[in-house]
Structure 1
Amino acid sequence: MKVLLALILMLAPLPAMAHKVIASVYPAGASIEGEVGFSNGDMAANQTVTVSDPAGRSLGETVTDAAGAFSFAPSEPVAHVFHADLGAGHVAETVMSEEDVAAVLGRAVPAAPPAAVSAAAPAKERAPADGLSAETREEVAAMLRAELRPLRQEIAAYREKNDFQTILGGLGWIAGLFGLGFYLAARRRMAG
């Protein structure tokens, strides 16, 4: 019995200190905001984020603040790839699509083939919010982004923490312990 208890204690899962890199970008008025951090909740402060197009052509760079957040003002309606090397093999990379960047710039996406253009419905112009000035709308949008940032971080950390691999690993441990129990029970019956 003591051997079984010692074996179980040796094989007991210990809390893992590994973490994954999380990165996200989203439109924020006339710029692109994003954040870089780890799934354990630590954010990547003062890290350089390089921005390129999908072909690797440099579009610029920015630096994260103490909360791991950054802002980048795009100048071209092309897909933007955000890349940050956090050291120790941790690399964050995320992409904002060409359509989203074009929307940030207030430009139309480059023309599609003529057949697709004729089938597309005409775009509606956005109606101004009920009596709010452009400055007030931008202030409200900035407040919402600031309030939603912690929620985005929590959701990203939760997704990374509870992924499918973790669930399968837990099921593997359970099956392994049952197998060990059946093995020991069969061995006792054969000995007794």
Structure 2
Amino acid sequence: MIRLLVILFTLLLAAPAGAHKLKVFASAEGTDIVGSAYFAGGDKAAGVPGRILGADGSLVAVFATAADGTFRQGVTARMDHIIAVESEDGHAARFTLPAAELPSSLPEGKAAAVSADTAALEAAVARQIRPLREQLDSYEERIRLHDLMGGIGTIFGLFGCWAWLQSRRRGP
């Protein structure tokens, strides 16, 4: 019985281990990939080296995050890009930016003016939506009170089921 309580208590203490999980988020602004690297607790990952890889794994670009954890890197091809960052202490993260978020190449002729307007509109919308996507991504990583209470409730519920089964085996 005491062993079980010690194990349960140890498991409860293990939850904050993800507090230093490195995350990376990126979006397209025109022909640039713009993003940030941060830890799950919200701290910015400054000076972290990163790579942008093509869909086939080929190296497209190398960068390092700024003091506020952000980065900006231009790309020349419309394809899926994999953004990979790795901190000095071994934390690593990857993010795939689909080709659909990058602008298509502009056709020649009259359609070019319409496409240029569309590309400018897409770039403006991407700049506005990017902070919201970042906020949502970081919000999903936080451990909230209801998550903690749900975990504790599950543990007590499982313990209650186990205790009930043990009492049924012993009989009246």
TM-score by length of 1: 0.60
Q: Select the structure of larger CA radius of gyration.
A: 1
- Please tell me whether the aligned partners of residues 51 and 58 of structure 1 are also in contact (alpha carbons under 8 angstroms): yes
SS of the aligned residue for 2:17 comes to coil
When residues 188 and 157 of structure 1 are mapped into structure 2, their CA distance, relative to the original with a 3 A threshold, is: farther
Q: Distance in 2 between matches of 1:90 and 1:128?
A: 41
Matched, 1:17 2:16: yes
Q: Distance in 2 between matches of 1:27 and 1:57?
A: 19
Q: In the alignment, which residue of structure 2 is the partner of 1:155?
A: 136
Q: In the alignment, which residue of structure 2 is the partner of 1:100?
A: 101
- Please tell me whether the aligned partners of residues 51 and 80 of structure 1 are also in contact (alpha carbons under 8 angstroms): yes
Query: Any gaps of 5 or more consecutive residues in structure 1?
Result: 110-121
When residues 55 and 15 of structure 1 are mapped into structure 2, their CA distance, relative to the original with a 3 A threshold, is: closer
Pairwise CA distance, 1:65: 1.4
Which of 160, 164, 171 in structure 2 is aligned with 1:182?
164
SS of the aligned residue for 1:34 comes to strand
- Please tell me whether the aligned partners of residues 35 and 72 of structure 2 are also in contact (alpha carbons under 8 angstroms): yes
Pairwise CA distance, 1:83: 0.9
Q: In the alignment, which residue of structure 1 is the partner of 2:30?
A: 29
1:61 partner amino acid: V
1:178 partner amino acid: G
CA offset digits 1:29-74 (Å, max 9, x no partner): 3411011222221221111111121222211111111222110111
Q: In the alignment, which residue of structure 2 is the partner of 1:64?
A: 65
Percent of residue pairs bearing the same amino acid type: 22
When residues 56 and 142 of structure 1 are mapped into structure 2, their CA distance, relative to the original with a 3 A threshold, is: closer
When residues 44 and 178 of structure 1 are mapped into structure 2, their CA distance, relative to the original with a 3 A threshold, is: same
Q: Distance in 2 between matches of 1:184 and 1:83?
A: 50
Query: Any gaps of 5 or more consecutive residues in structure 2?
Result: none
CA offset digits 1:68-90 (Å, max 9, x no partner): 21101112223221111124442
- Please tell me whether the aligned partners of residues 27 and 126 of structure 2 are also in contact (alpha carbons under 8 angstroms): no
When residues 108 and 123 of structure 1 are mapped into structure 2, their CA distance, relative to the original with a 3 A threshold, is: closer
When residues 124 and 160 of structure 1 are mapped into structure 2, their CA distance, relative to the original with a 3 A threshold, is: farther
Pairwise CA distance, 1:108: 5.5
SS of the aligned residue for 2:37 comes to strand
- Please tell me whether the aligned partners of residues 86 and 92 of structure 1 are also in contact (alpha carbons under 8 angstroms): no
TM-score by length of 2: 0.65
Q: Distance in 1 between matches of 2:135 and 2:101?
A: 24
CA offset digits 1:129-149 (Å, max 9, x no partner): 9xxxx8xx8xx779747xx53
